[in-house]
Amino acid sequence: MDIVVVGDINVDLIFAGLPSLPSFRELKHAKSMKFTLGGSSAIFACNIARLGASTGFVGKVGKDHLGDFLVEALVAAGVDTSRIVRDSELPTGICVSMSFPNDYAMVSYPGIRESFSLKEIDIDYIKQARHLHMSSFYLQPGLQPGSPELFRQAKYAGLMTSLDPDHDPNEKWNGGMQQLLHDVDLFLPNEVEATKIARTEELEAAGKSLAGFGHTTVIKVGAKGVCVFCGDKHIHAPAFAIQPLDTTGAGDSFNAGFIFQHLRGAPLPKCIAWGNACGALSTRALGGTEAFPTASEVETFLAERRHESVAMGGEPPGI
Ligand SMILES: Nc1ncnc2c1ncn2[C@@H]1O[C@H](COP(=O)(O)OP(=O)(O)O)[C@@H](O)[C@H]1O
Ligand SMILES: [Mg+2]
């Protein structure tokens, strides 16, 4: 197994083409709708499998229709679901999102995913992979206390590790994150998350402080691309110029492209170009997995956008 992904999984119900957000006692009609696999970790697993990495997903869903739907979606993407925990104690989570070209509003029911904890994870299974990835640290209160132990064991067994913290809905930005960061090789926050976790307003100060933990910090800045901090090195790579339809899962798709190349030992500029390409291409349709490209589609896109790709860190990314 190339990569094992541990973390959040839920259904996403996305509405797009709304004239504006509805107010109380108001009904708005959406022009399009998607009922699809969601949860940053699950979207990432699906997408990196689509690129060709052999992938296992470890998380928790209910014994209900939504749980069946999610497991089937992962199986269809070629992800190993044998270690997914199913329990009837609570329903599977669902997130309703109202999506606008550059913004969104969401309502989430986390359901059973919040109770998933370290004791439900088969550590021997994790150790079979070359790489461990986790997303949505702050959305998983059950898993948070055990995460440092999970990452420590993965590192001890020789795995590479990566973490995308995602947003903290409680705006506390702690929960053992500092402890966990010592065992993370690739840290992948967006701009808001990076500055909040580093407790500074400045992106550059945040990047330097986070890279001080000894890993590569990749800060995603939406349409502005990414800033990468690695030791004393600092690279800013612009994003591809596109008109996004729905940015749900753009960060997770970036992670999939970046880590797919990292797994193959590619140099940093190539990892960045693949991350930016996957992030950009994923915004062509509603949901986090729908428009995600295959590896050959990424190669075609990079060739077509050669001038932009070359700007992503010096060396041409190669195709
Ligand atoms: N409007 C956009 N134009 C081009 N690329 C984008 C756009 N939005 C996102 N991306 C790509 O997806 C990556 C992640 O998006 P971002 O919104 O920063 O992450 P997150 O979804 O975690 O907040 C960006 O670094 C970029 O490569
Ligand atoms: Mg994100």
- CA dihedral (132, 135, 139, 141) in degrees, to 10, reads 10
Kindly give, in sequence order, each residue whose CB lies less than 8 Å from that of residue 150, ignoring residues fewer than 6 positions away.
6, 118, 121, 123, 126, 132, 134, 143
Could you give the number of structural domains in the chain? Answer: 1
15 occurs within a structural domain: yes
Ligand 1 in reach of 37 Cβ (< 6 A): no
Q: Which one of 12, 261, 283 would you pick to mutate in the ligand 1 pocket, going by the greatest count of ligand atoms within 8 A of its CB?
A: 283
> What is the number of the ligand closest to the CA of 135?
2
CA 124 – ligand 1 centroid, Å: 34
CA 251 – ligand 2 centroid, Å: 4
Ligand 1 in reach of 247 Cβ (< 6 A): yes
pLDDT the model gives residue 317: 38
Q: Tokens 């370290």 appear where?
A: 118
Residue 130 structural domain: 3-20+29-310
Ligand 1 in reach of 229 Cβ (< 6 A): no
> What is the number of the ligand closest to the CA of 273?
1
Residue 57 exposed, middle or buried by CB count within 10 Å (0-12, 13-18, 19+): buried
pLDDT the model gives residue 313: 62
Angle, CA of 5, 7 and 13, to the nearest 5°: 110
Ranges under pLDDT 50 in the chain: 314-319
317 occurs within a structural domain: no
pLDDT the model gives residue 246: 83
Tell me the C-alpha distance between 113 and 60, whole Å.
Answer: 5
pLDDT the model gives residue 156: 97
Q: Enter the tokens of residue 93.
A: 């989570």
CA 24 – ligand 2 centroid, Å: 29
CA 167 – ligand 2 centroid, Å: 7
φ/ψ region of 301 (left if φ > 0, alpha if ψ in -120 to 50, else beta) reads alpha
Ligand 1 in reach of 251 Cβ (< 6 A): yes
Tell me the C-alpha distance between 274 and 262, whole Å.
Answer: 10
> What is the number of the ligand closest to the CA of 137?
2
165 occurs within a structural domain: yes
Ligand 1 in reach of 225 Cβ (< 6 A): yes
Ligand 1 in reach of 101 Cβ (< 6 A): no
φ/ψ region of 269 (left if φ > 0, alpha if ψ in -120 to 50, else beta) reads alpha
pLDDT the model gives residue 233: 86
Tell me the C-alpha distance between 127 and 129, whole Å.
Answer: 5
- CA dihedral (251, 256, 259, 263) in degrees, to 10, reads 180
pLDDT the model gives residue 6: 98
pLDDT the model gives residue 210: 93
Kindly give, in sequence order, each residue whose CB lies less than 8 Å from that of residue 258, ignoring residues fewer than 6 positions away.
186, 188, 218, 271, 272, 274, 275, 278
Tell me the C-alpha distance between 254 and 224, whole Å.
Answer: 13
Ligand 1 in reach of 245 Cβ (< 6 A): no
301 occurs within a structural domain: yes
What is the separation, in whole angstroms, between the first and last Cα of the chain? Answer: 24
Strands (DSSP E) found in 39-157? 55-58, 60-62, 85-87, 94-100, 103-109, 131-135
pLDDT the model gives residue 314: 45
* CATH number of the domain where residue 236 is located: 3.40.1190.20
